[in-house]
């Protein structure tokens, strides 16, 4: 039987037309009509007068957001601990130091209480953090009212890692538009993909132009090659942007499929004691449910998250533990951490289940059968 993946690319059908156009007009370069078109599509989709610069990856978008926030050598940057390493790595690219913050239980994202405690403590040591990186894990918006208020109160720039949350909203406003900068990812497993790619969402055109300048080798305005800044080769190609334009045509449809997947899991686990499906805690939150995840309480189920993962794997079904918190990663073990053990417990008990927008009814039937088999043991 074919493998059922956690989340695989799902083409809508319109993508190749834009890619063909790029070939037909010879715009095979890191600029061109598809790049401009994809940026316009994203700007109108997320709204809020956003200004979007398309880049080679979400990681490069975080890197440039840190640079534009003024982060440099030996600065401190606050970052949600429970996330993919790409949220934190660019802090080190800048020679700065991450300070990790625990999650809270409602959204699994940055705990506002631990965040403020960290800022106060670090300021009392004489060093105000230079930026805050908050993440919307699995598409679930973080507690943005509280976190935005803290960012404003202490005048620390807020970078919103919305790599997993394109289309999610908090109080009706799209994720990626709350912070001073928002970042998006179009990697192969994300809600839409360009095969690889990302974007930086800016508040104004000035920041967007600075992003494009830095992403295209920081070339000064001169006939020869003249440079007053260190630049990067981070601009998105016109070919991949063509895939992005096609994907935008099906984005909302794909979000609705992912939300249907989440409903499927709610239904499947409704009567199974000890397993809870992650969902919105109140109506303020609208998750794109990029990945559906569950918490397995072994003391009730008599099997662990790992037993379930291996049992699914036996039936050629992929599932994966939740993100391992950064403060528990060998590479980041020496950096500061504020919080208790919320993210650590989520990591111990949590599992992401197949969630692609291309999951078929037969796939769901196989998942159901496989899980029921374990229940009967």
Residue ranges binding ligand PLP (CB under 6 A): 57-59, 83-84, 86-87, 135, 161, 163-164, 185, 187, 198
Sign of the four-CA dihedral 304, 307, 309, 311: negative
Min. distance of Cβ 187 from ligand PLP in angstroms?
4
CB-nearer residue toward ligand PLP: 7 or 370: 7
Min. distance of Cβ 221 from ligand PLP in angstroms?
30
CB-nearer residue toward ligand PLP: 114 or 192: 192
CB-nearer residue toward ligand PLP: 161 or 344: 161
CA-to-CA distance for 352 and 295, rounded, in angstroms?
Answer: 9
Min. distance of Cβ 86 from ligand PLP in angstroms?
4
Strand-by-strand arrangement of the 292-296 sheet: 275-277, 292-296, 350-353, 320-321
Both tokens of 94, joined, read: 């800048």
CB-nearer residue toward ligand PLP: 219 or 324: 324
Q: Around Cβ 18, how many Cβ atoms within 10 Å?
A: 22
CB-nearer residue toward ligand PLP: 187 or 355: 187
Min. distance of Cβ 135 from ligand PLP in angstroms?
5
- Whether residue 241 contacts residue 54, with contact meaning beta carbons closer than 8 Å, is answered with yes
- Whether residue 287 contacts residue 191, with contact meaning beta carbons closer than 8 Å, is answered with no
CB closest to ligand PLP, residue no: 58
> What are the DSSP calls for 246-282, one per residue?
HHHTTHHHHHHHHHHHHHHHHHHHTT-TTEEE---SS
CA atoms within 13 A on the CB side of 240: 22
Min. distance of Cβ 225 from ligand PLP in angstroms?
28
CB-nearer residue toward ligand PLP: 86 or 202: 86
CB-nearer residue toward ligand PLP: 197 or 246: 197
How far from 128 is each of 79, 181, 216, 232, 350, CA to CA, in Å?
14, 19, 31, 28, 34
Min. distance of Cβ 223 from ligand PLP in angstroms?
34
Both tokens of 350, joined, read: 């949590």
Name residues whose C-beta falls within 8 Å of residue 243's C-beta, 6 or more positions apart in sequence: 15, 18, 19, 193, 194, 195
Min. distance of Cβ 323 from ligand PLP in angstroms?
8
């Amino acid at each position: 039987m074919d493998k059922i993946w956690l989340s695989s690319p799902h083409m809508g059908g319109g993508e190749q037309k834009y890619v063909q156009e790029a070939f037909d007009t010879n715009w095979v370069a890191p600029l061109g009509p598809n790049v401009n078109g994809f940026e316009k599509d994203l700007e109108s989709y997320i709204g809020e007068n956003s200004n979007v610069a398309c880049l080679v990856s979400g990681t490069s978008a975080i890197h440039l957001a840190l640079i534009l926030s003024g982060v440099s050598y030996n600065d401190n940057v606050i970052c949600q601990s429970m996330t993919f390493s790409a949220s934190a790595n660019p802090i080190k690219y800048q020679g700065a130091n991450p300070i990790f913050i625990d999650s809270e239980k409602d959204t699994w994202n940055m705990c506002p209480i631990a965040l403020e405690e960290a800022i106060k403590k670090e300021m009392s040591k004489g060093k105000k953090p230079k930026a805050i990186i908050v993440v919307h894990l699995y598409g679930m918006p973080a507690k943005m009212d509280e976190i935005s208020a803290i960012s404003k109160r202490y005048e620390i720039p807020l970078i919103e890692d919305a790599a997993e949350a394109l289309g999610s909203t908090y109080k009706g406003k799209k994720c990626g538009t709350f912070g001073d900068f928002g970042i998006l990812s179009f990697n192969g497993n994300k809600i839409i993909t360009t095969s690889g790619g990302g974007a930086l969402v800016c508040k104004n055109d000035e920041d967007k132009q600075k992003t494009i300048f830095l992403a295209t080798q920081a070339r000064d305005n001169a006939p020869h090659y003249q440079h007053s800044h260190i630049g990067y080769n981070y601009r998105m190609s016109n070919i991949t942007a063509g895939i992005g334009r096609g994907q935008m045509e099906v984005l909302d449809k794909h979000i609705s499929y992912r939300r249907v997947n989440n409903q499927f899991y709610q239904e499947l686990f409704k009567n199974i004691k000890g397993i809870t499906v992650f969902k919105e805690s109140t109506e303020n939150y609208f998750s794109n449910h990029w990945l559906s995840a569950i918490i397995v309480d072994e003391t009730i189920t008599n099997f662990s998250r790992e037993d379930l993962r291996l049992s699914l794997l036996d039936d050629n079904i992929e599932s994966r533990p939740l993100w391992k918190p950064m403060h528990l990663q060998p590479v980041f073990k020496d950096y500061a951490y504020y919080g208790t053990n919320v993210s650590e417990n989520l990591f111990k008990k949590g599992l992401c289940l197949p969630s692609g927008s291309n999951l078929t009814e037969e796939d769901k039937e196989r998942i159901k059968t496989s899980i029921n088999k374990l229940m009967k043991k």
